[in-house]
Amino acid sequence: MTESNLLTLDLGPIAHGGHTVARHDGRVIFVRHGVPGEVVRVRLTENEESAKFWRGDVAEVLEPSEHRVPHFWEPADALAHRDPVGGAEFGHISLPFQRELKARVFAEQLTRLGGLNAEENNFPQVQFALGREDGLGWRTRMSYSVDPEGRLAMSGFRSNKLTAISQMPLAHPAIEATGLYGVDYTGIDRVEAAVSSKDDATVLILLAEARPGAAKRVARQLPEGVNVAAFSQSGGSAADGRGALQAIAGRSWLSEEVLGEEFRITGEGFWQVHRAAAATLSERVLELAKPQPGEQIADLYAGAGLFSLPLARAVGQEGRVFSIEGAPGTHADAKKNLRGISQATVIRGRVERVLRQVARDAALDAVVLDPPRAGIDKSVAAELASSAVQRICYVSCDPASFARDVSRLTARGYELAHVEIHDLYPHTHHMESVALFVRR
Ligand SMILES: C[S@@+](CC[C@H](N)C(=O)[O-])C[C@H]1O[C@@H](n2cnc3c(N)ncnc32)[C@H](O)[C@@H]1O
């Protein structure tokens, strides 16, 4: 890369997505790996002359922020690498200031996209999630690429370039202890690793086979006691029902325990990533949704039934909980997890299609929803508004789509009564919020 790709810039405010905003000759440049207020040399990574804005990475820090710390992991450190891998893009910022930045992004999104007034609303701070004080070792789920030499690898933001890795400090220590980085993954496309937070020890490694037989060869290299499963990729994955999951060593599922309830999670089936997330979110959902005996509640985007099960216990046999999940593999887990709970109806299907019928057949008192990053479809907001639902508890992993949905729901008769943010993704720009909307 030539010198012309390097610019000296003053870094402005933090923006959604983990960038700071800088300006050069009237053009906005989104800069990663910086801290607001710093003066830095930026290596441009996208700088088409015709583009409205450019992108870049910090290559050198001329005037550091007081909140800058040495990055804990070299492959993700932009000062050490031209193509830093993703997954730890806030690792150069002190943990308290990471949380401050997340709170600023959240408030900015709620003001700009959510239509809320910063002076009338007390936007929340970000709460520390139970875990290590250094914010490491929290990921109970990991996903890796495989490079052409058969090594575990990760790529950077908007980049296809793979970097082989030999550790990942955010991964749970039990995953790291399997020695999975020393294995030859030739013939495998993608590797997922998960550990049960029930015992902090049982590990399942999932191998997406590009070549038949490759998974068996990999399994032989892993220590005894590590569960290994393969899914053949006939154009899909085990979770979306198009791939076939096969146990190679031990089991193809993990057992989890949350607030005294048992859950079974198959291979790729959805489960919260932070070790403390399942319990934290369950507790907060129950506290905010306040399910009462005899009530009818829909749990939308329900996953394996994490919230459906305690909700069903709370409404009791006189009540009803509708657990709605779209991915066939995850829905199958929910069916197993809610088996024998007569007040739970487990439905497989897209919320956009299923909710209308459920809302017609039942008099829903409350709805819990925990959509993917894209948030809810506008048809779902409209359906909620036309039903008599009094309380909506909304769990979100994306402040931008959440803010958009705040504006949709507040325009349709709901009031945002409470919102809180949890730092369930330390050292990344991500955050998780839990909100309560009530009918005005
Ligand atoms: C963020 S996860 C939440 C799962 C669950 N609440 C939990 O905490 O374990 C979102 C879930 O929504 C499912 N999903 C995504 N889009 C969907 C849709 N349009 N309709 C139904 N389910 C969907 C995904 O498969 C995933 O299991």
The residue whose C-alpha atom lies closest to atom 19 belonging to ligand 1 is 350
Q: Are 158 and 46 in contact (CB under 8 A)?
A: yes
Flag whether pLDDT at 235 surpasses 60.
no
ipTM computed for the complex: 0.99
Q: Are 59 and 78 in contact (CB under 8 A)?
A: yes
Among residues 224, 257, 290, the one where a domain terminates is 257
Those residues with Cβ within 8 angstroms of residue 74's Cβ, 6 or more apart along the chain or in another chain: 80, 81
Whether residue 318 sits in one domain with residue 205: no
Whether residue 432 sits in one domain with residue 293: yes
The residue whose C-alpha atom lies closest to atom 1 belonging to ligand 1 is 372
Q: Is residue 314 part of a domain?
A: yes
Whole-number pLDDT of residue 238: 46
Whether residue 419 sits in one domain with residue 329: yes
Q: Is residue 237 part of a domain?
A: yes
Q: Which of 195, 39, 107, 123 is nearest to 403 (CA)?
A: 107
* Residue 20 β-bridge partners: 14, 31
Flag whether pLDDT at 241 surpasses 60.
no
Q: How far is the CA of 370 from the centre of ligand 1 (A)?
A: 7
Whether residue 296 sits in one domain with residue 247: no
∠ Cα 301 303 307 (to 5°): 85
Whether ligand 1 lies within 6 angstroms of the CB of 333 is answered as no
> Has 397 been annotated as catalytic?
yes
DSSP 117: -
∠ Cα 132 133 139 (to 5°): 40
Q: Is residue 97 part of a domain?
A: no
**pTM for the model:** 0.95
CATH number, position 154: 2.40.50.1070
- Token look-up 């008599």 returns 388
Whether residue 295 sits in one domain with residue 214: no
Tell whether 301 is in a known binding site: yes
Residue 45: phi, psi to the nearest 5? -110, -20
Those residues with Cβ within 8 angstroms of residue 360's Cβ, 6 or more apart along the chain or in another chain: none
∠ Cα 28 80 100 (to 5°): 55
Q: How far is the CA of 6 from the centre of ligand 1 (A)?
A: 42
Q: What domain range includes position 8? A: 3-68
∠ Cα 131 135 138 (to 5°): 60
Query: What is the average pLDDT across 342-350?
Result: 98
Whether residue 239 sits in one domain with residue 153: yes
Whether residue 294 sits in one domain with residue 251: no
Flag whether pLDDT at 3 surpasses 80.
no
Q: Are 272 and 266 in contact (CB under 8 A)?
A: no
Q: How far is the CA of 349 from the centre of ligand 1 (A)?
A: 10
Q: Are 87 and 168 in contact (CB under 8 A)?
A: yes
Q: How far is the CA of 210 from the centre of ligand 1 (A)?
A: 27
The residue whose C-alpha atom lies closest to atom 27 belonging to ligand 1 is 303
Whether residue 330 sits in one domain with residue 210: no
pLDDT cut 70: percent of the chain above it: 97
The residue whose C-alpha atom lies closest to atom 5 belonging to ligand 1 is 303
The residue whose C-alpha atom lies closest to atom 26 belonging to ligand 1 is 303
Whole-number pLDDT of residue 237: 52
How is residue 31 written in tokens? 């800069």
Candidate from 283, 306, 325, 424 with most ligand 1 atoms within 8 A of CB, to mutate = 325
Tell whether 377 is in a known binding site: no
Whether residue 280 sits in one domain with residue 211: no
Whether ligand 1 lies within 6 angstroms of the CB of 272 is answered as yes
Q: Please name the helix (run of DSSP H) or strand (run of DSSP E) that holds residue 384, with its range, or none.
A: helix 378-386
Q: How far is the CA of 56 from the centre of ligand 1 (A)?
A: 33
Residues 247, 241: Cα–Cα separation, whole Å: 16
Flag whether pLDDT at 75 surpasses 70.
yes
Q: How high is the mean pLDDT of the chain?
A: 94
Whole-number pLDDT of residue 1: 45
Whether ligand 1 lies within 6 angstroms of the CB of 307 is answered as yes
Query: What is the average pLDDT across 369-398?
Result: 96
CATH number, position 50: 2.40.50.140
Whether ligand 1 lies within 6 angstroms of the CB of 394 is answered as no
Q: Is residue 120 part of a domain?
A: no
Q: Is residue 106 part of a domain?
A: no
Whether ligand 1 lies within 6 angstroms of the CB of 325 is answered as yes
Those residues with Cβ within 8 angstroms of residue 2's Cβ, 6 or more apart along the chain or in another chain: none
Looking at the 3D structure of the chain, how many domains does it have?
3
Whether residue 220 sits in one domain with residue 315: no
- What are the pLDDT digits (tens) for 150-180? 999 999 998 999 999 999 999 999 999 999 9
Whether residue 156 sits in one domain with residue 280: no
Counting every residue, how long is the chain? 440
CA-324 nearest atom, ligand 1: 21
CA-368 nearest atom, ligand 1: 6
CATH number, position 389: 3.40.50.150
- What are the pLDDT digits (tens) for 112-131? 999 888 777 778 999 999 88
Q: How far is the CA of 303 from the centre of ligand 1 (A)?
A: 5
Whether residue 214 sits in one domain with residue 315: no
Tell whether 38 is in a known binding site: no
Tell whether 394 is in a known binding site: no
- Residue type at 139? R
∠ Cα 304 335 309 (to 5°): 60
pLDDT class of 360 with cuts at 50, 70, 90:
very high
Among residues 68, 85, 119, the one where a domain terminates is 68
CA-371 nearest atom, ligand 1: 10
Q: Is residue 154 part of a domain?
A: yes
Q: Lowest mean pLDDT: which of 81-85, 305-309, 368-372?
A: 81-85
Flag whether pLDDT at 4 surpasses 70.
no
Catalytic residue chosen out of the listed positions 397, 409, 421, 434: 397
- What are the pLDDT digits (tens) for 184-225? 999 999 999 999 999 999 999 999 998 889 999 999 999 999
Q: Is residue 116 part of a domain?
A: no
Whether ligand 1 lies within 6 angstroms of the CB of 434 is answered as no
